């Protein structure tokens, strides 16, 4: 069996101008990065203003398990399947982060015969977007500390600085640091820390921006610290947003690549799916909808976090209405939700499978009843799945009136995605009653309660005394009307990662509330969220190599 990188490197890629031509886009709109990558000029949006938008399809999943779900793989294969059915389809995915590539993961651009290429480039520097975000993030940090060093005219409280530096690397050594040491000419000693670049608010800002001027305005609104009297200090107060926007002027342009089967694919933006909203950029989604008759996109983690944020944050902000939602599940992951340990997932176990199904069904119910959207389950087939197991899932879904399709894109590419594609095309013509899980007008507590009750199916939300105080302060500062970005474990509907399946009778505790004023949401933290990963005992980096022809190996 060939590895992902072997399959990817065997692909005879087309020149990216020929990929753009698939969707009728002239090469004048392209800014090449080599032959197989291009940034697309945002003027395409204005030039095609009169063209009806393509239909937007979201691919989401059950709660993730160690068994893997294959959401990106399904997204890519579905698009290839739709193209085989003659539909003008464009993919919009998130950019992988460099850090995890060298940690455990090794790469992230789909898998098997449903990948985007050139996968090595996509997994390494790609078109430099993440580096640009890191530079803008660290310029702001340097200007902030320099402001304090040069006299602190804004009266910034050095014990209340919320802006961190970042690197796009899994580097636990930088989680907690004391910097500014070495004497009075070397900065101001203070506690500090680094996040991985994708956790920077600038990543979320870039992904939610509606253009370069909106990006600049959002950058200016970002809160970086508080004064000694408790007033927020913004990037605009530090006169930093112009230089940051200059650093990001190309990063905001979506990156066009191709699937193994030559379907146009945007890969652009990749914010954290917990402290941020976990979706690719609004600009890429909008361009994909102006290029394709169908735009297929994905969201992070399971549907309780990923789809919720995609719908309640991104779609609300950008004025998007999805036409259909795909919920990806695997037999292995459902068995895990039914109580099977990772080691035993390879054996047939119909009882556990049936016990795990409610996790899937609850996500589907949320999509159809809470959000009012047409929905289909994609069973992403693994080699170890038995016919009896696949039939069980299919039969149960059908008995409950849930749309379901087998997806074999990992093994067969677009051909294995045609059954799912047919379902999606059909669903896109069905009635659509899209609505949000909560209104922006309610209090912060109201909004939290709506998410917990309607989406998680819990009894309610509890705010710690600290979080209550923060909610009052944020409301007083005028941030009460923002949508909520939940930071919760992805493994369970609840805030307890051991409650698998479809738990009931729980409450969710919010311990911390903070504002991402540039991105335009409030982050509700239900526990400690790691914003700087570490490397494992044997980092994937040890296996990565490049030969004299520049061919990379060891990504997988």
Residue positions annotated with a catalytic role: 71, 73, 94, 105, 273, 301, 382, 410
The CA distance from 8 to 423, in Å, is: 28
The CA distance from 501 to 478, in Å, is: 38
Indicate which single residue of 175, 236, 396, 453 sits in contact with a second copy (rule: CB under 8 A): 175
Determine the length of the chain.
Answer: 556
* Residue number, 1 or 185, with CB nearest to a second copy: 185
CB of 523 closer than 8 Å to CB of 488:
no
Span near a second copy by CB under 8 A; candidates 108-116, 141-149, 364-372, 383-391: 141-149
Indicate which single residue of 180, 270, 271, 322 sits in contact with a second copy (rule: CB under 8 A): 180
Cβ 303 to a second copy, closest distance in Å? 31
Contact flag: residue 230 with a second copy (CB under 8 A): no
The CA distance from 130 to 107, in Å, is: 15
The CA distance from 410 to 328, in Å, is: 13
Q: Does the bond joining 327 to the residue before it have cis omega, within 30 degrees of 0?
A: no
CA angle 472, 475, 479 (to 5 degrees): 145
- The torsion region of residue 148 among left (phi > 0), alpha (psi -120 to 50) and beta comes to alpha
Span 107-126, contacts to a second copy by CB under 8 A: 120, 124-125
The answer to whether the Cα torsion of 144, 149, 153, 154 is positive or negative is: positive
* Residue number, 186 or 369, with CB nearest to a second copy: 186
SS3 386: coil
Residue 511: count other Cβ atoms within 10 Å of its Cβ.
Answer: 17
Span near a second copy by CB under 8 A; candidates 132-140, 228-236, 462-470, 517-525: 132-140
Nearest one of 103, 95, 104 to 68, comparing CA atoms? 104
Contact flag: residue 187 with a second copy (CB under 8 A): yes
Nearest one of 291, 267, 263 to 279, comparing CA atoms? 267
Per-residue b/e over 114-141, b at no fewer than 16 CB within 10 Å? bbbbbbbbbbbebbebbbbbbbbbbbbb
Contact flag: residue 159 with a second copy (CB under 8 A): no
Indicate which single residue of 21, 154, 177, 231 sits in contact with a second copy (rule: CB under 8 A): 177
CA distances from 266 to 27, 244, 254, 466 (A): 16, 24, 6, 41
Cβ 521 to a second copy, closest distance in Å? 25
* Residue number, 216 or 286, with CB nearest to a second copy: 216
* Residue number, 6 or 351, with CB nearest to a second copy: 6
Span 424-483, contacts to a second copy by CB under 8 A: none
Contact flag: residue 13 with a second copy (CB under 8 A): no
CA distances from 546 to 28, 98, 111, 130, 538 (A): 34, 16, 21, 22, 19
* Residue number, 240 or 467, with CB nearest to a second copy: 240
Cβ 153 to a second copy, closest distance in Å? 10
Contact flag: residue 530 with a second copy (CB under 8 A): no
CA angle 288, 290, 292 (to 5 degrees): 60
What number of CA atoms fall less than 13 Å from residue 396's CA on the CB side?
A: 22
* Residue number, 173 or 369, with CB nearest to a second copy: 173
Span near a second copy by CB under 8 A; candidates 225-233, 349-357, 514-522, 536-544: 536-544
Contact flag: residue 236 with a second copy (CB under 8 A): no
Span near a second copy by CB under 8 A; candidates 297-305, 443-451, 478-486, 532-540: 532-540
* Residue number, 47 or 504, with CB nearest to a second copy: 47
The CA distance from 292 to 366, in Å, is: 27
Cβ 243 to a second copy, closest distance in Å? 4
Indicate which single residue of 74, 89, 138, 255 sits in contact with a second copy (rule: CB under 8 A): 138
Cβ 68 to a second copy, closest distance in Å? 24
Cβ 170 to a second copy, closest distance in Å? 6
| Three-state SS sequence of 335-366 | HHHCCCCHHHCCCCCHHHHHHHHHHHHHHHHH
* Residue number, 56 or 135, with CB nearest to a second copy: 135
- Count of residues touching a second copy (by CB under 8 A): 73
Span 199-218, contacts to a second copy by CB under 8 A: 211-213, 216
Q: Which residue has the tokens 């038995």?
A: 386
Contact flag: residue 419 with a second copy (CB under 8 A): no
* Residue number, 128 or 481, with CB nearest to a second copy: 128
Contact flag: residue 221 with a second copy (CB under 8 A): no
Report the relative pairing of strands 264-267 and 55-61 from DSSP bridges. Answer: unpaired
Contact flag: residue 179 with a second copy (CB under 8 A): yes
Cβ 268 to a second copy, closest distance in Å? 16
What number of CA atoms fall less than 13 Å from residue 398's CA on the CB side?
A: 9
Contact flag: residue 32 with a second copy (CB under 8 A): yes
Indicate which single residue of 176, 347, 369, 507 sits in contact with a second copy (rule: CB under 8 A): 176
Here's the x/- map for a second copy, 63-92, by CB under 8 A: it reads as ------------------------------
Residues 6 or more apart from 289 whose CB is under 8 A from it?
53, 54, 55, 56, 90, 295, 320
Contact flag: residue 170 with a second copy (CB under 8 A): yes
Contact flag: residue 35 with a second copy (CB under 8 A): yes
* Residue number, 192 or 312, with CB nearest to a second copy: 192
């Amino acid at each position: 069996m060939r590895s992902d990188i072997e399959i990817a490197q065997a692909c005879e890629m087309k020149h990216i101008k020929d990929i753009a031509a698939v969707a009728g886009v002239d090469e004048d709109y392209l800014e090449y990065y080599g032959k197989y990558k291009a940034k697309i000029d945002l003027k395409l949006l204005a030039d095609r203003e009169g063209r009806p938008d393509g239909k937007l399809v979201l691919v989401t999943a059950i709660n993730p398990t160690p068994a893997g779900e294959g959401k990106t793989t399904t997204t890519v294969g579905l698009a290839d399947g739709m193209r085989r059915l003659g539909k003008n389809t464009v993919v919009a995915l998130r950019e992988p982060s460099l850090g995890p590539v060298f940690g455990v993961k090794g790469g992230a651009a789909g898998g098997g015969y449903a990948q985007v290429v050139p996968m090595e480039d996509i997994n390494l520097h790609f078109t430099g977007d993440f580096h640009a975000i890191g530079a803008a993030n660290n310029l702001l940090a340097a200007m902030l500390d320099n402001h304090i060093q040069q006299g602190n005219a804004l009266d910034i409280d050095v014990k209340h600085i919320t802006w961190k530096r970042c690197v796009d690397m899994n580097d636990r050594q930088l989680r907690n640091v004391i910097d500014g040491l070495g004497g009075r000419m070397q900065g101001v000693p203070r506690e500090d820390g680094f996040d991985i670049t994708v956790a920077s608010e600038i990543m979320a800002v870039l992904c939610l921006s509606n253009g370069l001027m909106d990006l600049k305005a959002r950058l200016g609104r970002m809160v970086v610290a508080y004064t000694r009297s408790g007033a927020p200090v913004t990037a605009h107060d530090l006169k930093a947003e112009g230089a940051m926007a200059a650093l990001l002027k190309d990063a905001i342009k979506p990156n066009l690549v191709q699937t193994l089967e030559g379907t146009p694919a945007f890969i652009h933006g990749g914010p954290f799916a917990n402290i941020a909203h976990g979706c690719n950029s609004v600009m890429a989604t909008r361009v994909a909808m102006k290029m394709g008759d169908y735009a297929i996109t994905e969201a992070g983690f399971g549907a309780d976090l990923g789809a919720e944020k995609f719908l309640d944050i991104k779609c609300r902000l950008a004025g998007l209405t999805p036409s259909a939602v795909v919920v990806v599940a695997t037999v292995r992951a459902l068995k895990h939700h039914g109580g099977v340990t990772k080691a035993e997932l390879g054996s047939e176990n119909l009882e556990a499978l049936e016990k795990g199904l409610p996790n899937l069904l609850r996500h589907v119910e949320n999509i159809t009843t809470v959000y009012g959207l047409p929905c289909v389950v994609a069973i992403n087939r693994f080699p170890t799945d038995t016919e009896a197991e696949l039939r069980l899932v299919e039969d149960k879904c059908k008995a409950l009136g849930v749309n379901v399709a087998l997806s074999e894109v990992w093994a067969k590419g677009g051909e294995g995605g045609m059954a799912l594609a047919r379902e999606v095309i059909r669903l896109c013509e069905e009635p659509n009653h899209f609505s949000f899980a909560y209104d922006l007008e309610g209090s912060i507590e109201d909004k939290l309660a709506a998410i917990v009750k309607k989406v998680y199916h819990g009894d309610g939300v509890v705010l710690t005394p600290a979080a209550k105080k923060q909610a009052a302060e944020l409301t007083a500062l005028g941030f009460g009307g923002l949508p909520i970005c939940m930071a919760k474990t992805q493994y369970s509907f609840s805030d307890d990662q051991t409650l698998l399946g479809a738990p009931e009778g729980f409450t969710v505790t919010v311990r911390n509330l903070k504002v991402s004023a540039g991105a335009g949401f409030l982050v509700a933290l239900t526990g400690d969220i790691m914003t700087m990963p570490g490397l494992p005992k044997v980092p994937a980096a040890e296996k990565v190599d490049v030969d004299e022809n520049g061919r990379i190996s060891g990504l997988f």
